[in-house]
Structure 1
């Protein structure tokens, strides 16, 4: 059974944010970290995984991503800090 993820990357605590969706979280975050993903994250140097959530279908993950992208910045920060109050980079956690 495939899993889908919505994730938030940050440049640093309260810095620039990026919200994305993927079916392979480790691979996708690695691409961002290594600058292999062209676009906003590469241009801004956004590499730190600060939040992610799992979904059973692509449709629910895509809808959640769109919803979160429409939120005010304060809501995005609150969502991150509810599960990751210190803005720890979660990449090592997902690689275990």
Structure 2
């Protein structure tokens, strides 16, 4: 993605977003991907590059440890955001 230039610190989102979480405040999810996950990752990266809105990730607050949040859903959006250099990610707090 050499021609991609970030226009903001996070991707364009398409739903109610409660907060914008710093990526370094999220516990990295496991990276146990299969081929189907690679295909999904490419689709997420294509959406980011074409400025197509994506859903916010869902986060859970953590009370202990080095991270403030955990991702129960949204690993592809998380890793794609890291790959393109975003510093934040649109999120909804899981209740």
TM-score (norm 1): 0.28
More helix per residue: 1 or 2?
A: 1
TM-score (norm 2): 0.28
